[in-house]
């Protein structure tokens, strides 16, 4: 006999965990931005619609970045035009600069995310800005977005290590993160862009933010699973009071400007763990797995998610 989810084997709570976690789904953006092939816009639109039907309420849909920098998302405007927003679902998009904000405003976007770097090298490689000058680029974006009634999230990359600079001190990350929040962002997502973090490091970083006056209610975590640490790191963040977790359906993802970044924590693997812990997410695992199987068939390769592989058909996305 099979069961649709981990709760079929019983839900066992652990002390200190929140009753509910909000999943910030980044598959259509962080996932598809790193696909070698350009996914047709109608497939993207259906992917986003399916994610909403599976119960995800925050779906990061695309980016208004320079189309030469990320050709995979050059169809951002067309994708938004095709979306039929579902009630209660938010569709944030990434915006790095004022040109990106203009493009988002033209499409009636109501929520954006800026994305900063904790290190000099990645700021230059990802944004063509220095560590210091990135804040001057973001400030007018946030100010104008707030004036238009938008919600603005902030990302901070390379919070746990950088492929060019190596270790990144906690104080350096906290300093950069506080500056992004101080621009007026409602939430800061801490990115382990290359997946090198481990649970003690997560705890130390969250403690560093708490000491600087930033509690877990203003933080989210964004783990790439390069070294298989994403779930352990997430559980640590939850015990520290974080309740917003970024994940990508099927474990799609990476970052085209950080070569050692592989996929994000898979949403299915996260939901499996949270269901088993009795933590509510509002996400239907069966429907989400069906979505990742459907997308794997379109991409022509199997999902990297362990849960999708365990619950989906053996031949989804072709064999590897």
Q: How far apart are CA 61 and CA 47, in angstroms?
A: 10
Which one, 60 or 275, has the nearer CB to Mg ion?
60
Q: Does 22 bind ligand HMG (CB under 6 A)?
A: no
172 binds, options ligand HMG, Mg ion, none, Cβ within 5 to 8 A by partner type? none
- State in angstroms the smallest separation of the CB of 94 from ligand HMG: 6
Q: Does 222 bind ligand HMG (CB under 6 A)?
A: yes
Q: Which of 5, 31, 96, 312 binds ligand HMG (CB under 6 A)?
A: 96
Q: How far apart are CA 249 and CA 44, in angstroms?
A: 13
- When CB distances to ligand HMG are compared, the closest residue is 191
Residue with tokens 């953006």, as numbered in its chain: 29
Q: Does 192 bind Mg ion (CB under 5 A)?
A: no
Q: What is the dihedral of CA 292, 219, 242, 62, to 10 degrees?
A: -10
Whether 255 is catalytic is yes
- State in angstroms the smallest separation of the CB of 115 from ligand HMG: 4
Interface with Mg ion by CB under 5 A: which range of 22-30, 81-89, 194-202, 303-311? 22-30
Q: How far apart are CA 280 and CA 196, in angstroms?
A: 28
For 27, which DSSP code? Answer: I
CA-to-CA dists, residue 66 to 17, 56, 127, 158, angstroms: 40, 28, 10, 21
Given the residues 123, 185, 238, 255, the one annotated as active site: 255
Q: Does 30 bind Mg ion (CB under 5 A)?
A: yes
Which one, 195 or 302, has the nearer CB to ligand HMG?
195
Q: Does 128 bind ligand HMG (CB under 6 A)?
A: yes
- State in angstroms the smallest separation of the CB of 95 from ligand HMG: 7
Sheet containing strand 219-223, edge to edge, reads: 58-59, 22-25, 244-247, 219-223, 187-192, 151-157, 111-117, 93-94, 62-63
**Residue-level length of the chain:** 320
Number of residues that bind Mg ion (CB under 5 A): 1
Closest C-alpha to 90, from 156, 151, 147, 27? 151
Binding map of Mg ion across residues 286-315, x = CB under 5 A, - = no contact: ------------------------------
Cβ contacts of 221 within 8 Å, gap of 6 or more = 189, 190, 192, 202, 233, 234, 237, 242, 244, 245, 246
Q: Does 79 bind ligand HMG (CB under 6 A)?
A: no
Q: Which residues bind Mg ion (CB under 5 A)?
A: 30
Q: Which residues are catalytic?
A: 255
Contact residues for ligand HMG, defined by CB under 6 A: 30, 33, 63-66, 69-70, 94, 96-97, 99-100, 103, 115, 126-128, 155, 157, 191, 193, 222, 224, 255, 257
């Amino acid at each position: 006999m099979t069961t649709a989810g981990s709760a079929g084997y019983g839900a066992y709570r652990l002390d200190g965990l929140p009753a509910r976690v909000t999943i910030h789904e980044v598959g259509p953006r962080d996932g598809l931005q790193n696909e070698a092939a350009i996914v047709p816009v109608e497939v993207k639109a259906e992917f986003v619609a399916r994610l909403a039907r599976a119960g995800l309420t925050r779906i990061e849909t695309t980016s208004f970045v320079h189309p030469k920098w990320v050709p995979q998302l050059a169809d951002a405007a067309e994708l938004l035009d095709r979306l039929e927003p579902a009630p209660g679902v938010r569709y944030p998009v990434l915006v790095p600069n004022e040109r990106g904000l203009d493009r988002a405003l033209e499409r009636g976007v109501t929520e954006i995310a800026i994305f900063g770097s904790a290190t000099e090298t990645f700021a230059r490689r990802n944004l063509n800005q220095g560590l210091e000058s990135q804040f001057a680029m973001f400030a007018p974006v946030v100010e104008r977005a707030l004036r238009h009634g938008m919600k603005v999230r902030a990302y901070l990359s390379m919070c746990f290590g950088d492929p060019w600079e190596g270790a990144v001190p906690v104080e350096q990350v906290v300093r950069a993160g506080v500056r992004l929040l101080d621009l007026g962002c409602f939430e800061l997502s801490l990115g382990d862009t290359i997946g090198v973090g481990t649970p003690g490091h997560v705890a130390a970083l969250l403690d560093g933010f708490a000491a600087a006056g930033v509690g877990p209610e203003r933080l989210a975590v964004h783990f790439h699973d390069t070294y298989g640490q994403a779930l352990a790191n997430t559980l640590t963040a939850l015990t520290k009071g974080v309740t917003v977790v970024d994940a990508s359906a099927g474990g799609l993802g990476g970052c085209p400007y950080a070569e050692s970044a592989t996929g994000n924590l898979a949403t299915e693997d996260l939901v499996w763990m949270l269901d088993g812990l009795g933590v509510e997410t509002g996400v239907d695992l069966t429907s989400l797995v069906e979505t990742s199987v459907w997308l794997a068939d379109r991409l022509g390769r199997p999902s990297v998610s362990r849960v999708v592989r365990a619950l989906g058909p053996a031949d989804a996305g072709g064999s590897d």
